[in-house]
Structure 1
């Protein structure tokens, strides 16, 4: 199996990258299928690709294992996690519940400045959409959700959201990549922002609870050959 696609020439190991930075680079490789689900992670090859030594690489793999993106198997090394469809949907449903609760809290706790920053991130996401930059769009989309959660100042909610979101990070990117849901997702974000600006806890919770799972359901219906209903424009 070819684990790394488009591998570059190996470079000298860098002592400057911390395990968290190495984990972030591997995470990006996973969401873009350079390390596909179920693929074994060859430490030597990956260390050369990232120009890091084995020590920070192994620490990075522990971080990704804690996030559920990588499985560390005794005597077999690390493997990219390949969750089944039912498990993914359950994770997304739970993530939607957490984000809905965070949205409710944010309506009470977010400052006006923080809400303006969320709006600014939305404009950056629109710019990526206009350029057709799916990866940039995805990152700004994620920034918006994390920013809303951060305004809760609830450490338990923030930590559980971070951990759970990491487990479905690749799935959320693939949903953006393989569906034409950009416009409907943007409309949903407009509703989220409008509710946050009104500090309407009930309205923001209703949108967020379904928002994160909708793209997955659309993609699953597409793969099953079912007709996908037009997006809600109300």
Structure 2
């Protein structure tokens, strides 16, 4: 029996496997990167981080390998870890692929989703609209990602779900920065409503189009951020 088979059986029985120290450390590091506590290009101080997280160097290194697979951490030629610093071109390429994945997931979910899953996605969209003014940036972003993940998972397509998870992990910081642009939040919420309305009607074409347009907005938001950052550096 493979470990994955056993884990699936445990999950079906309501028994979730315990998270390892490496997985917990990876979660914390992912959040540090997301919030800019470890900025792009920053060297990762293994000893200091291990001490701060209360773990030994071994699980920390395992956590860094997890984040390397996700594209959040890179290694130099001398195997020193640092936070990945993707270019605008790279981010645009990844987001374009992510848009295609979410469009396919939304189209498929229009057929596969249960009534309960559709209701949950509608509920998530409503929560975001209702609480957008009160939610702190990380809370708003997590709810946003929960909304998108729920649509993808409703597709019932495991290869699609896994591929989306991998691409989305690489884009967490970019999507977080995009969601932080308060002046664009009304636009984001309006796009979520458009996605939700199409999904409720199980309109495949409209759902696919709304999701692709939504990810295109993310590309535009990231482009504005890079342009603003470039202008600020030129002033300095």
Name the TM-score class by shorter chain.
0.7 to 0.9
Distance 1:123 1:202 in 2: 22
Q: 1:49–1:159: structure 2 CA closer, same or farther, 3 Å change rule?
A: same
The correspondence of residues 150-229 of structure 1 with structure 2, limited to 5 A, is: 150-178=153-181, 180-221=183-224, 224=227
Contact residue 126 and residue 137 of structure 1 kept, 8 A: no
**Given that residues 71 and 80 in structure 1 are in contact (C-alpha distance below 8 angstroms), is that contact kept between their aligned partners in structure 2?**
yes
Q: 1:122 aligns with which of 121, 125, 147?
A: 125
- Say whether 1:93 aligns with 2:86: no
Contact 1:125 1:140 in 2 (8 A): yes
Shift of 1:174: 0.8
**Aligned structure 1 segments of 4 or more residues deviating by more than 4 angstroms:** none
What is the CA–CA distance in structure 1 between the aligned matches of 2:179 and 2:87, rounded to whole Å?
Answer: 19
8 Å contact from structure 1 (residues 47, 54) kept in 2: yes
- TM-score normalized with structure 2 length: 0.84
Partner Cα separation in structure 2 for residue 24 and residue 185 of structure 1:
26
Contact 2:98 2:168 in 1 (8 A): yes
Q: How high is the TM-score relative to the length of structure 1?
A: 0.84
| Structure 2 counterpart SS, 1:101 | helix
Pairing 1:20–2:15 present: no
In 2 relative to 1, CA 173–57 (structure 1 residues): closer, same or farther, beyond 3 Å? same
RMSD: 1.7
Select the structure that is richer in helix: 2
Q: Would you say 1:45 and 2:48 are equivalent positions?
A: yes
Which residue matches 1:12? none
The match for 1:230 is none
SS at match of 1:180: helix
Q: 1:128 to 1:25 in 2, by over 3 A?
A: farther
Change (3 A) 1:171 1:116: same
2:113 equivalent to 1:113: no
Match of 2:58 in 1: 55
- Unmatched 5+ stretches in structure 2: 1-18, 229-236
In the alignment, is the contact (CA less than 8 A) between 1:179 and 1:219 conserved in 2?
Answer: no
1:18-65 CA deviation, whole Å, 9 max, x = no partner? 222211111111011100001110101111111122121111111100
Q: Which SS does the other structure have where 2:133 is aligned?
A: helix
